[in-house]
Each structure stands twice: as C-alpha cells, then as structure tokens.
Amino acid sequence: MAIPTPHISATSKDLIAETILLPGDPLRAKFIADNFLEDVIQFNAVRNMLGFTGTYKGKRISVMGTGMGMPSIGIYSYELINFYGVKNLIRVGSCGALQPYLKLYDIIIGMSASTNSNYLHQYNLPGTFAPTASFELLEKAVKVARELGVRYHVGNILSSDTFYDDDSEAWKRWAKMGVLAVEMEAAALYANAARAGANALTILTVSDSLVTHEETTAEERQTAFTNMMKIALEL
C-alpha cells in the first residue's frame, strides 16, 4: 500500500503512532497536541486536517482531525489502519443528549453505535451488523473515568447522517430504545476497525441536549472538553 495517501501526507508509518485520538475538529487536534503532548511533530495538513504525533507520559501518541460525518472519518480511519498500521483509534467528540438525565459536559462512552446511514451496506452482509467498540479500550476508559471522578455513562449512541433532520421528532424514537446521544461518526469508525482487526472506541462530551435545548458554545466545544481528552490519552 502506497504512502503518502491522497488525504494524509505522512511519508513514513513511523510518523504516526499505533494509538491515535480522532477529534472531528482539526483545531481540537491542535489543542490536544499543544496542551497535552511533548516533542510534537506535525505529520499532516492536507485539506487543513491537522495531524500531530508526540509523547504523553513517555508514550508515543498521535492526534488528528477527521472532519464531520461518516464518509469523512471513514476515509481517514481506513487510511490510518490500512496504510499506516494504526492499531487503536479513539474518537473524541461532542454529542447531543437524547435522555433527560444527561447533563452538559457529561462523558459518554459508546459501547455500540446505531446508525441511520447506508455506510454498512458496502460489506454486503446477510443481515444487520452491530458496530461495537473494543471491549479492551472501553474497559480501560471506564476505569480512568472512575479514577478521575467524572460523570460518565456507557451505552448505545446514534451515528446520524443528518444534522438537520427533516423529521424533527425522529430522535425521540431512538431515545425510546435507550440510545444515549447522537453524533455523526462512530458507526463508520467501528465498522472500519472491525473489518481490519483494529481497536476503536468513541468517547464523547455532551455539548447540547435535544431534550432541554441547553447547549455549549463553539469555543467550549473546541477547548473545554478536557476530561474526555484526559480519559482518551490514558488509554
């Protein structure tokens, strides 16, 4: 497999660590690199999708933006796994709460990812595949969240293809099934990892609530979700 790829300019597998954090926002990737990593190098800037590698507590780790939606994270995670040999992919993102007991800044660890997307149809499976996180990563994340003393929840999340849904009440039907929150990437990440034998996990911070209509600001979503970042870095 040839590198660099059409979307990642790193010329060597050695420039990207086996474990990578994947925020949607490339500026959040830069924030993590600037505030948590040492000896940082930048390995990607194609389409301004910034990627960095450094060390955290003496261990090499990378961080890179993925953009919004399953097609975007599908491209980046596929190339990271299949071209650069990345083994552990941890999405760190924001989500909208679907349950009334979830509060702004709560942490949600995505055990599984339901979806309204056709992304999974490419595998031509004789049934319905359930995109699921790596239990190894999930178990570690829960342990770290407990040690940090943060409010966290583990369960099913919804990866949606639509941010502005024509059916404004559709989320309520997912909520009735116990789905915790909605985001736009995890199902594709979990599917790509499952297909290639890699490990994936999604850790989210509640940025808004479809129930109460509370919401955080764009700046807060970029820089203030540090508990989620700390959990991911410890994995």
What are the catalytic residues?
208
Q: Is 218 exposed, middle or buried (0-12, 13-18, 19+ CB in 10 A)?
A: exposed
End-to-end CA distance of the chain, in Å? 28
Instruction: Report CA 134 to chain centroid distance, whole Å.
Output: 13
Give CA–CA dist 182/120, Å, rounded: 18
Q: Amino acid identity of 209? A: S
Q: At what angle do helices 26-36 and 226-234 cross, to 10 degrees?
A: 70
Q: How far is CA 200 from CA 39, 45, 49, 166, 218, in A?
A: 25, 23, 20, 31, 26
Give CA–CA dist 220/3, Å, rounded: 35
Are 46 and 7 spatial neighbours (Cβ–Cβ below 8 Å)?
yes
Give, for 72, the enclosing helix (H) or strand (E).
helix 70-82
Token pair recorded at residue 25: 């926002």
Radius of gyration of the chain (CA): 17
